[in-house]
Structure 1
């Protein structure tokens, strides 16, 4: 029986493809389980050989460290170019959406506190 290497929940396709290629490049036998029909499980990548699991985990740690560094570098580049979203830029771009969200939140909080206000009036 295999051991789970990567749960595919919220994993982008390019990352899952990279992991498959990495395992194939190092001749680590793996299999993949598909997501189920009702969305309870989303599938995973499993290593068949328990003895190779430590090697697969080490490769995965190296891959994730490289991917993290790449993502941080891309984010820093976008920040320097002024392309990174901030609260102010989002507010300027979609003021009605922000005001609607604030209004909806205030209304929900009011409804939640309404029983306490009626108790104080009695």
Structure 2
């Protein structure tokens, strides 16, 4: 029976390609599904033989640990070199989007506090 081994929702294309290559390299038979037309389905990689789940999961976990360490080192190097984008730079690059997010957060905060602010009236 097939078993979901790796979800593809929100995964960068390079990571998905690397995981496919790892599964091929280690000889795991799998098939891929998409989220469907409206995105309600499960986009993922499914092992065809569930008895290989532990071994495949170990291979993917090792890959993800090394990828995480590599990306963290790259980000730290970019930060030290002054190439990493900071929050003020991101806000300056997308001012309208930033204002929309701040207004939304303020609106949610107001709606959450409104019952307490009107409690004494």
Give the TM-score band, short-chain normalised.
Answer: 0.7 to 0.9
- Name the counterpart of 1:61: 61
Name the CA shift for 1:95/1:69 in 2 (closer, same or farther; >3 Å). closer
TM-fit CA distance, 1:88: 3.5
1:16-67, CA deviations, whole angstroms, 9 ceiling, x for partnerless residues? 1111111111111111112211111241101111221111011011000111
**Which residue number corresponds to residue 27 of structure 2?**
27
- After superposing the two structures, state which structure 1 stretch, 106-115 or 23-32, moved more: 106-115
1:74 aligns with 2:74: yes
Structure 2, unaligned runs of 5 or more: none
Q: Could you tell me how far 1:86 is from its partner in structure 2?
A: 2.3
Q: Distance in 1 between matches of 2:67 and 2:104?
A: 38
- Cα RMSD after superposing both structures: 2.8
Q: How many residues align?
A: 120
What secondary structure does 2:38 align onto? coil
Deviates more, 1:101-110 or 1:21-30: 101-110
1:33 and 1:96, CA in 2 relative to 1: closer, same or farther beyond 3 A?
Answer: closer
Structure number with larger C-alpha Rg: 1
Q: Distance in 2 between matches of 1:115 and 1:18?
A: 50
Give ranges in structure 1 of 5+ residues lacking alignment.
none
**What's the offset of the Cα at 1:108?**
6.9
Question: How does the TM-score come out when normalised to structure 2?
Answer: 0.77
